Amino acid sequence: MEVVSEAGDVVQGFDVKTGERLWSSEVIGEGKVPSVVLGDGLVFTAGGWGGKETIKAFRLGGKGELKESNLVWEQKKGMPKVPSMLFLKPYLYAITDGGIATCMKAESGDIVWQERIGGNHSASPIGADGHIYFLSDEGKTTIINAGPEFKVVAENSLNEKLQASMGISGGKLYIRTEKNLFCIGQAAHE
């Protein structure tokens, strides 16, 4: 087992028991905000600046300074600068800060669909029960079906500024806005 972390211009794997750095791969983008995402033996990372923004997928494992020898694919469209991406096998989902949602094949980086859902986005998308939830800074939630076809299932607005990612626990959705914490779900029956 290994722990994967980004630091400046590298993504690295560490031995979970000893803390020893096992491998390191080059990525562009000091001061990255999106967290790395793992899935199917790959680590997905987003970063870059000045027209060199890119999403990259690296194969996990290896030893030493790998540079880009474990790079599986690179995609220059749909790169988020703030929200983290979401892996729901076999797809990788992203939302740009400007509200363009993208679904990619996780194994290849090929774009399956790319659609404008609008708004500005700081919160990371989340997945639950076959749906993906996108929260805009303006307080609008856009819910789509997970999968290869873009279909909006619902849109709801809280009419409050928000930038925090949604939380899910016990079948309930938790949304923190600028002034409130909302819990959305069925009431408990006693």
**pLDDT by residue, tens only, the chain of 190 residues:** 889 998 878 899 999 999 999 999 988 766 678 899 999 999 999 987 777 788 999 999 889 999 888 999 999 998 898 999 999 999 999 999 999 999 999 999 999 999 999 999 999 999 999 999 999 999 999 999 999 999 999 999 999 999 999 999 999 999 999 999 999 998 776 5
CA proximity to 43, closest of 106, 93, 1, 98: 106
CA angle 131, 99, 12 (to 5 degrees): 75
CA proximity to 48, closest of 64, 34, 62, 66: 34
